[in-house]
Amino acid sequence: MESAFPEEMTVRDLLQAMATGQLTSAQITARCLARIERLNPALCAVIAVDSHAPERARAIDRLRASGNAVGPLAGIPILVKDNIDTLGLPTTAGSEALRRAFPRRDAELVSRLRRAGAIILGKTNLSEWANYRADGAPGGWSPVGGQTRNPYVLDRTPRGSSSGSAVAAAAGLAPVTIGTETSGSIISPAATNAVVGFKPSHGRVGGTGFVPVSPWQDTAGPITRNVSDAAALFAVIAVPRRAVRLEPGLPPGARIGVWSGIRTEGSHPEVDRVLAEATAKLRDLGATTVEVDVPVPAQDGALPFEFKEAINAYLDSAGGEHPRDLAELIAFHRGDPAERVPDIGLARFEQAQLSDTVRSPREYRAERERITGEARRSINGVFDRHRLDAIMAPSNGRAHEILDPGDHPWVHSYSPPAIGGFPSITVPAGYADAELPLGVSFIGRRNHDEELLGLAYTFEQATRARKQPRYLPTLPV
């Protein structure tokens, strides 16, 4: 299938093409909207498009043509995950309960994107409530958006919760997208759909205007087809802004820890093969690699209380018609037929609702301070002991069939950096069965996001592992 624009064009390429008159923002936007209309019925990656996007694209074109100053993303269409407030569109979090919840203002990061000249094209599908409704929910499913499909093999999971953003990037529904993560929700779907997903250090991207899970871990970040586009988005939404240098080659004396990740028992030969190939490539680039083990802190004890406190505050402030607190939200879900298909229950919601009857808010906050402190000390200890610039680990395992409800072998490495607030980025690195994407993640020191992007860029340019999706209905026998 053809792309909405040449597949290898980066944000920088598109900006150059618009500056020289080869393309206009109106043309790029129209082609993206046409591609969404054609492909989204099969992919279910986009929940809504903004009807004002073409008009805003034409306005950017007029500004550029008249010689007026335009921003660093002027005319670039962007899709954002539908748990991020975008003025003029409902913020549903994938739930029927929020179909008529219209935000009163843009999220902070959306305001930054608009000021940079970006065209907000629409909202992407997600695992409902960012996968915090119940255990066992299908990755990428929501009552509002349906089941998101992996464009590489359509009957395979796209994982979540930022599934729509990852699939939209992979399928070229927009040049770039934005996802959110509490624990793995950027890294896992990005890796599973062969795109780059960047989870910034916690606090580098403004956290206002999200449907929350935990303010201690929630962050937004870019999901794109290449590292340079992720860097271009991050440069706009990050605070403070710092220069990102993307140059081939590692710094002299670079040391990379290699971690096998968190995995179920048994063998994972395809993951191990890809990790070994990535390790060999780093050595070819001049890095010293060191096998390391990263401690995995527990986090579940504080999350239920944090979710209840944060979602109650969000619902109380959101505009439109919707449940006003978690108790009303639970009642809505129990009564709405669409919310009972599939019947995955409300276990996490119910646990959160009872959380403040189990312990006091003071005890939960003390536990969170302890969990975060332990995670930071343990990861910093690994960096310091081995004098590391970054840690590399598997991002994901082989994607299972969406309709297979059984237990599946899994591999990941996202929870330690998520809990500790460290930056991490996944880059395409290979394929299982020649078709199912596998990625490797690089974890950096806190607030060294720009250096991590540079490392990921060097690896990406040296490997160029990503290939375009083929939209196979199932794996060939």
Burial (0-12, 13-18, 19+ Cβ within 10 Å), 405: exposed
Alpha helices in 133-268 (DSSP H): 163-170, 187-192, 227-237
| Rounded (10°) angle between helices 303-317 and 326-335 | 90
More confident residue, 436 or 242: 436
| DSSP code at position 465 | -
Burial (0-12, 13-18, 19+ Cβ within 10 Å), 367: middle
Joined tokens for residue 448:
């060294």
CATH code of the domain in which 281 resides: 3.90.1300.10
| Rounded (10°) angle between helices 227-237 and 449-463 | 160
Position 275 scores a pLDDT of 98
Position 129 scores a pLDDT of 97
pLDDT digits (tens, 9 = 90+) for 371-407: 999 999 999 999 999 999 999 999 999 999 998 867 7
Position 251 in a domain:
yes
Instruction: Report the relative pairing of strands 141-142 and 146-147 from DSSP bridges.
Output: antiparallel
Position 195 in a domain:
yes
Position 366 scores a pLDDT of 95
Percent of the chain with pLDDT over 90: 89
Closest Cα partner for 140 from 109, 180, 96, 185?
185
CB distance 157 to 140 below 8 Å: yes
Position 468 in a domain:
no
- The answer, yes or no, to whether residue 4 has pLDDT greater than 80, is no
pLDDT digits (tens, 9 = 90+) for 22-63: 999 999 999 999 999 999 999 999 999 999 999 999 999 999
Residue type, 37: E
Position 313 in a domain:
no
pLDDT digits (tens, 9 = 90+) for 404-423: 867 788 999 999 999 999 99
In terms of average pLDDT, the best of 193-202, 299-308, 335-344 is: 193-202
Place of tokens 């802190």: 297
Position 155 in a domain:
yes
Position 340 scores a pLDDT of 77
Active site residue 228: no
Report in angstroms the alpha-carbon separations of 358 from 132, 354, 368: 20, 7, 16
Report in angstroms the alpha-carbon separations of 472 from 15, 396, 434, 464, 469: 32, 20, 12, 22, 8
What is the three-class DSSP state of 411?
Answer: strand
CB distance 332 to 143 below 8 Å: no
Position 314 in a domain:
no
**Range(s) of the domain holding residue 209:** 11-300+366-463
CB distance 421 to 187 below 8 Å: no
More confident residue, 257 or 297: 257
Active site residue 81: yes
Residue 130 phi/psi, 5-degree rounding, is 55, 35
DSSP string, 294-345: ------TTTHHHHHHHHHHHHHHH--SSS-SSHHHHHHHHHH-GGGGSS---
Among 25, 81, 127, 355, which one carries the catalytic annotation?
81
What is the three-class DSSP state of 141?
Answer: strand
Position 458 in a domain:
yes
Non-local CB neighbours of 135 within 8 Å, separated by 6+ positions: 347, 348
Position 2 scores a pLDDT of 47
CB distance 18 to 62 below 8 Å: no
The arithmetic mean of pLDDT across residues 93-109, rounded, is 97
The arithmetic mean of pLDDT across residues 203-221, rounded, is 95
Lowest mean pLDDT among 70-84, 187-201, 255-269, 333-347: 333-347
Among 185, 395, 415, 424, which one carries the catalytic annotation?
185
The arithmetic mean of pLDDT across residues 74-91, rounded, is 98
| Cβ neighbours of 231 (radius 10 Å) | 28
Position 79 in a domain:
yes
- The answer, yes or no, to whether residue 361 has pLDDT greater than 70, is yes
Among 142, 161, 214, 441, which one carries the catalytic annotation?
161
| Cβ neighbours of 386 (radius 10 Å) | 16
Q: Compute the distance between CA of residue 70 and CA of residue 118 in angstroms, rounded to an integer.
A: 10
Position 297 scores a pLDDT of 81
Position 84 scores a pLDDT of 98
Position 7 scores a pLDDT of 61
User: Whole-model pTM above 0.95?
Assistant: yes
- The answer, yes or no, to whether residue 1 has pLDDT greater than 60, is no
- The answer, yes or no, to whether residue 14 has pLDDT greater than 70, is yes
| Rounded (10°) angle between helices 449-463 and 269-284 | 100
Active site residue 161: yes
Position 473 scores a pLDDT of 97
Percent of the chain with pLDDT over 70: 98
Structural domains in the chain (count): 1
